């Protein structure tokens, strides 16, 4: 499940950088959960061709992420916002949480 989540995130961020043909097949495999055989039959190509294209797309998307780090920054920011929300929801924390909230907010701003 973790791999599918990672593939979906990478596709959300970098999918537009793939060709229309690559996007269609990758979306069928990752987002629509079609089997290689189903995609091959729908597209009129071999199952091996679908498999190779999906692996090539995975490498391309991971390459974009290694250079741009957009997914990493997004996940990091999401975790910090979740922590801030957690700190603000705890009853009785009040002023005790402010330094931690301030630190997390500064880290978020530095990422932008």
* Contact predicate 102/109, CB 8 Å: no
Q: Which helix (H) or strand (E) element contains residue 110?
A: helix 98-111
pLDDT of residue 90: 72
For 41-74, how does the pLDDT look when each residue is reduced to its tens digit (9 = 90+)? 999 999 999 999 999 999 999 999 999 999 999 9
Name the more confident of 102 and 23.
Answer: 23
Q: CA separation (Å) from 59 to 20, 43, 83?
A: 17, 22, 32
Is the pLDDT at 96 greater than 80, yes or no? Answer: no
pTM, two decimal places: 0.81
């Amino acid at each position: 499940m973790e791999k599918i989540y990672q593939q979906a995130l990478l596709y959300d961020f970098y999918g537009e950088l793939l060709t229309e043909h690559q996007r269609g097949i990758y979306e069928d495999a990752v987002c629509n959960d079609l089997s290689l055989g189903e995609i091959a039959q729908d597209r009129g190509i071999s199952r091996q061709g679908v498999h190779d294209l999906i692996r090539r797309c995975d490498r391309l998307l991971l390459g974009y992420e290694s250079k741009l780090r957009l997914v990493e920054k997004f996940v990091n920011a999401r975790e910090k916002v979740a922590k801030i929300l957690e700190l603000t929801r705890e009853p009785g924390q009040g002023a005790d949480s402010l330094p931690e909230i301030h630190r997390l907010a500064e880290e978020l701003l530095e990422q932008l």
